[in-house]
Structure formats: C-alpha cells, structure tokens
C-alpha cells in the first residue's frame, strides 16, 4: 500500500487520534491510515449486506418465496439506501455530523439481529430496510472522509475505500456457505460482531474527523467554481448516471441470481454456487483496487471507456459458455467492470467541486437504487422467462459504454 507523503505543516498527533493534516492537498501517513480504516469498515459493512443476498436460497426454501419476492428483499434494502444517501450527503456537506458513522453501523446491527430472528416475510423486508439505512449513512460520509485523507490522490483513496466493500461483498457468500448454510438462519446473528467492530473503528475515525475539522476551521472553504459550463456538467452527470445504471443492473443479475443460474444451468450444489459467486465478487474487488490508481495516472475518463465498453465481448459470450468458461468469464467481467466505479465517482466529484458528500451520496445511492429496482424487475423476468434468459438480455447492457464519448475532457484540479 502506498503511503501519502508527509506534511511538515501537520499538527502533532494527539495521543488518542491521528493528527488532521494542516492542508487540504497533502495528508500525513497517519491521515491515510484513516482511508485504510474506512476500507476495513466498508469490508465489514458490505459483508453484512451481502449476507442477505447470500442466504436467499435458504430463505426461498424456508418461506417458499418466489423469485419476485427475492427481488423485493433486494429492493427493500437498496431503495432504502438509495433514497437516503443523497439527502444525507447533501445535509452533511453543510452541517457535518461527527459521530454519524458509528450510529449508522448501529442500524446495520439491528437489521442483522432482526434478519436472524425474523419468522415471516414482512419482518425480512424490515430487516433488509434497516441494513439499507445503515448503508445510507455509511457510504457518503465515509467517501467524504476518505477524500479528505487522500493527500490529493483521490482515485487511489476511492479505490482503497471501495475495495473494502468489494472484499466484504465477496466474503459474504463464502461465509454464508460455511456458516449460515450448515447452521441456519439464526446464525446470521453472529455477523453482528462485525457491526460491533465497525462501530469501534468508526468511533476512532469520527474523532479524527473532529480533529480535522478543528484544524481546518480557519482555512477558506473549498472552491465551488465549475470547470465546465453548467449545462455540460449536467449532461456529463446524466451520462455518468447511465453508466452506473449499466454497471449495476448487470451486477445485480449476479448478486441476486447468479447462484440460481449456475444451479439451474450446471446442476451444482448450493455451496458450490456460493463459491462461484465468491469468485465473481472477488474479481470485482480486484478491479476496484485497480481502477482508482490507474485513473490517477491516465485519467478517469479513459478508465471508464475501457471498463464499461471493454467488458462487452465477455458478457456476450457468458450465456453460451460451459461451467469452466463461465468461471473464467465471470473473473474477467468482474475485474473489468468493477474498475469503472471509483473512476466514475472521482470524475463526478471533480465536475462538481465542494459537493463531495452530495455526489458520493447520489452515485452510491443511485447504484443501490438501480441494483434494487433491477433485482425486482429481473426477478419478474426470471419467473416469466427463466433465469438463463436474464443473462442473455443483460449481456447487451455494456453497449451503453459508448455514451462515454459525451463526457468532457478532464481538467485536473487540486484538492
């Protein structure tokens, strides 16, 4: 892991928390450790989230759920998160809330405990919504603090932060295969320990954030001057939103239905299906870690081009591949497709300077919302046409990567 260059003007570190940097352009090694801490908490947060999708086969059997009802569970979680994230991000851009992060993790803890003990479908929906509420607080606030501690390497910090989430998303199905599948729904409660650990770490991060804000109190506010005309910025944000739509609809077909797809198509066991999902999600974690640093070097726009459009040949081949090539193709798809999101978030934040929380909330929220809505719709399609048909139609989505041509050239700004 690269460490940010030291800042000779940084305030001394108090005994209880790392020092806030004295400037907005450089971060101390102690400050960059905050990015790592946020990545660890992102891992814990998204592990808890992914447990829900990972136990869908158990819930489907225990409660005789249809694919449409499975999709609605994802809808309850992701739409709750998507509707609240932009509002929380916009509010905290103006009025930062020091200890919002550990409180948000507390909602996830409540959701997990309810998921472990729920005895009917409405309670499962409520548990999903609580976990979504925790994510609604976590993502915009964590993305803001990661950018503050980035030392100007915004793509790298965004990748380090986001890769924790990808690793957590990948770990969920693996842990479910070896913990929840053998022991049943009640064993979900053990994942509450991850929430408790996250609350402890995020309390430490919140104290650093308070130190940063006190050190920054005398400095001028960040510039909000747009690098392009207002109309061009709006058009670019719409294009970025459509690219997020492409990525997240396709990703939702995996996170919600990939286990069912490989079970139906290849006759594998539930545990083997979870392992195949883990392979795909692990590949996405690798792609996320690659995308940000590459974007810092060659530009976010170039990464977006390669990531969205470049994945198209592989998505088109996937519905016709045998089991071996399905595993190989999903690795390639996961790596290439996941590299886009850090680049998209950084590109959008630089289009609208001074609105870091709002932009993070909008794009993380939109990603969640599109995932939830598409899971619900794809569930209906799977019930009507079959799960294999879902992958056939989703394979054409990366054609929308051609929209990248409408993004403006980047004008790199400091801070």
| Residue 1, both tokens | 């892991």
d(CA 415, CA 356): 11
Residue 192 confidence (pLDDT): 87
Residue 353 confidence (pLDDT): 80
d(CA 76, CA 376): 10
Q: Is 383 exposed, middle or buried, given 0-12, 13-18 or 19+ CB atoms closer than 10 A?
A: middle
Identify the CATH assignment for 29-215+226-406 out of 3.30.70.100, 1.20.1630.10, 3.30.2020.30, 1.20.1250.20: 1.20.1250.20
d(CA 226, CA 371): 30
| Residue 88, both tokens | 């929380």
322 phi and psi angles, rounded to 5 deg: -80, -175
Please report which helix (H) or strand (E) contains residue 197, including its range. Answer: helix 192-215
15 phi and psi angles, rounded to 5 deg: -65, -25
Residue 53 confidence (pLDDT): 74
Residues 250/394, Cβ–Cβ less than 8 Å: yes
From residue 32, give the alpha-carbon distance in Å to each of 13, 296, 311, 393.
Answer: 13, 16, 32, 42
Structure-derived torsion over alpha carbons of residues 162, 165, 171, 172, reported in degrees to the nearest 10 = -150
Return the domain boundaries, the chain: 29-215+226-406
Residue 372 confidence (pLDDT): 66
Q: Report the candidate in 3, 4, 13 with the shortest Cα–Cα distance to residue 215.
A: 13
d(CA 35, CA 38): 5
User: Residue 69: how many CA atoms within 13 Å on its side-chain side?
Assistant: 16
Q: Which residues of the chain have pLDDT under 50?
A: 1-27, 413-415
d(CA 321, CA 43): 31
| Residue 134, both tokens | 């925790």
Residue 314 confidence (pLDDT): 95
Q: Report the candidate in 382, 373, 372, 367 with the shortest Cα–Cα distance to residue 337.
A: 367
Residue 413 confidence (pLDDT): 44
Q: What is the DSSP string of 225-236?
A: --SS-HHHHHHH
d(CA 149, CA 212): 9
Please report which helix (H) or strand (E) contains residue 270, including its range. Answer: helix 270-298
Rg (CA), the chain: 21
Separation of CA 170 from chain center: 12
d(CA 101, CA 40): 13
Separation of CA 261 from chain center: 23
Q: Is 287 exposed, middle or buried, given 0-12, 13-18 or 19+ CB atoms closer than 10 A?
A: buried
Separation of CA 189 from chain center: 23
pLDDT digits (tens, 9 = 90+) for 74-104: 788 877 877 777 777 777 777 777 688 898 8
To 5 degrees, how large is the angle CA 191–CA 195–CA 201?
A: 140
Q: What is the pTM of this model?
A: 0.66
pLDDT digits (tens, 9 = 90+) for 9-18: 333 333 334 4
Q: Report the candidate in 398, 108, 121, 402 with the shortest Cα–Cα distance to residue 253.
A: 398
């Amino acid at each position: 892991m690269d460490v940010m260059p030291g800042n000779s003007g940084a305030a001394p570190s108090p005994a209880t928390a790392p020092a806030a940097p004295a400037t907005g352009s450089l971060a101390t090694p102690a400050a960059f450790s905050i990015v790592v801490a946020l990545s660890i908490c992102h891992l814990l947060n998204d592990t808890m989230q992914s447990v829900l999708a990972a136990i869908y086969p158990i819930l489907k059997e225990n409660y005789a759920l249809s694919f449409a009802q499975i999709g609605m569970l994802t809808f309850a979680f992701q739409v709750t998160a998507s509707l609240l994230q932009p509002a929380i991000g916009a509010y905290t851009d103006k009025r930062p809330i020091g200890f919002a992060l550990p409180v948000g993790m507390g909602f996830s803890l409540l959701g997990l405990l309810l998921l472990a003990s729920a005895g009917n479908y409405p309670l499962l929906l409520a548990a999903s919504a609580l976990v979504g509420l925790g994510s609604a607080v976590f993502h915009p606030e964590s993305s803001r603090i990661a950018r503050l501690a980035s030392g100007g390497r915004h793509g790298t910090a965004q990748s380090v932060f986001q890769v924790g989430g990808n690793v957590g998303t990948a770990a969920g199905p693996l842990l479910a295969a070896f913990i929840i599948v053998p022991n049943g729904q009640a064993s979900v409660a053990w994942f509450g320990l991850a929430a408790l650990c996250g609350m402890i770490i995020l309390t430490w991060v919140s104290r650093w954030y308070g130190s940063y804000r006190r050190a920054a109190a005398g400095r001028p506010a960040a510039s909000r001057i747009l690098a392009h005309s207002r109309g061009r910025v709006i058009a670019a944000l719409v294009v970025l939103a459509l690219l997020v739509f492409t990525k997240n609809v396709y990703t939702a077909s995996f996170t919600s239905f990939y286990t069912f797809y490989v079970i139906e198509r290849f006759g594998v066991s539930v545990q083997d299906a979870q392992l195949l999902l883990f392979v795909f999600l692990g590949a996405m974690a690798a792609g996320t870690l690659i995308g940000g640093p590459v974007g810092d070097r060659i530009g976010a726009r170039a990464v977006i081009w390669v990531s969205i459009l470049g994945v198209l040949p592989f998505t088109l081949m996937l519905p016709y591949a045998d089991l071996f090539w399905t595993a190989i193709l999903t690795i390639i798809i996961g790596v290439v497709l996941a590299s886009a999101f850090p680049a998209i978030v950084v590109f959008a934040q630089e289009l609208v300077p001074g609105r870091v929380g709002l932009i993070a909330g909008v794009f993380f929220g939109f990603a969640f919302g599109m995932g939830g809505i598409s899971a619900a719709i794809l569930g209906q399609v799977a019930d009507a046409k079959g799960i294999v048909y879902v992958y056939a139609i989703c394979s054409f989505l990366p054609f929308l990567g051609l929209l990248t041509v409408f993004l403006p050239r980047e004008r790199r700004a400091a801070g």
